[in-house]
């Protein structure tokens, strides 16, 4: 876990009411801006289609591993038409290091075919249409909406789910509930930015294992408290 920068001084923030959602949100937004700031899109891509494929590959894998694999994949197929023409076995061979390659390869091939035949080879820009594609769930669809189409969305992955529970912003029952809680907590205009900031914060300061709340720049301030409406 990275040490807290000396420039980060939580004492200069207004006192945080641990039972107030609004108070916690205000502190978290400010802390993430100070500690993380602007976050570039982590998955390398050229357009909505290559981002969609990269996000599909990222399930049960890492951004670093996906970024190692996609240049080889996109060299042979970077459009829906090209991907639809590839045998599933070829896709699977290229993406094998990402894990779950048989199912991912089938979904990628099927998605490419649907884009060609039903969407004029264009990635749709609504959540409902995106989630009609094989292997595309709420997280993948919202990442594409935010990062390719500039729409406000709050995709919840395991990092965000874990931190929302630690910060007392969600009971941690499931990612759907966490998404609802976070969208209720934070201003819509910040959803996409906070999504990336929280992921990087979790990796940098608030890991899943060997986490020490007193050493975490956010956990030690907001803690876990049941929330009153605010």
139 catalytically annotated = yes
Catalytic residue among 109, 139, 151, 228: 139
Instruction: Return the bridge partners of 20, or none.
Output: 228
3-state helix, strand, coil in the chain (%, to 5): 60, 0, 40
Q: Distance (Å, rounded) from C-alpha 82 to C-alpha 121?
A: 10
What secondary structure does DSSP assign to 45-105, as a single string? Answer: -SSHHHHHHHHHHTTTS-HHHHHHHHHHHHHH--SHHHHHHS-HHHHHHHHGGGS-HHHHH
Catalytic residue among 26, 34, 63, 157: 157
User: Closest Cα to residue 182, out of 23, 25, 36, 41?
Assistant: 25
Hey, how many other C-beta atoms are within 10 angstroms of the C-beta on 150? 10
Q: Which of 218, 213, 180 has the alpha carbon at shortest distance from 198?
A: 218
Q: What 3-state class would DSSP assign to 30? A: helix
Tokens (6 digits) for 157: 């992955």
Residue position matching structure tokens 């108070």: 23
Active site residue 173: no
Catalytic residues: 139, 157
């Amino acid at each position: 876990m990275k040490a807290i920068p000396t420039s980060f001084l939580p004492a200069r923030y207004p006192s945080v009411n641990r039972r107030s959602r609004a108070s916690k949100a205000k502190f978290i937004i400010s802390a993430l801006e100070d500690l993380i700031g602007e976050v570039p899109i982590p998955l390398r891509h050229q357009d909505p289609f290559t981002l969609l494929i990269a996000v599909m590959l990222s399930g049960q894998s890492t951004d670093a591993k996906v970024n190692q694999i996609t240049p080889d994949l996109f060299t042979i197929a970077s459009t829906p038409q090209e991907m639809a023409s590839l045998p599933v076995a070829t896709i699977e061979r290229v993406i094998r290091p990402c894990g779950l390659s048989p199912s991912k390869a089938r979904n990628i091939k099927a998605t490419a075919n649907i884009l060609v035949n039903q969407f004029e080879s264009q990635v749709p820009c609504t959540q409902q249409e995106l989630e009609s594609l094989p292997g595309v769930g709420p997280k993948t669809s919202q990442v594409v909406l935010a990062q390719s189409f500039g729409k406000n969305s709050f995709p919840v992955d395991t990092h965000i789910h874990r931190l929302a529970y630690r910060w007392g912003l969600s009971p941690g029952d499931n990612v759907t509930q966490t998404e609802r809680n976070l969208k209720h907590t934070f201003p819509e205009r910040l959803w996409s930015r906070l999504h990336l900031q929280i992921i990087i914060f979790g990796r940098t300061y608030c890991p899943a294992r060997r986490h020490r709340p007193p050493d975490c720049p956010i956990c030690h301030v907001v803690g876990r408290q049941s929330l009153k409406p605010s």
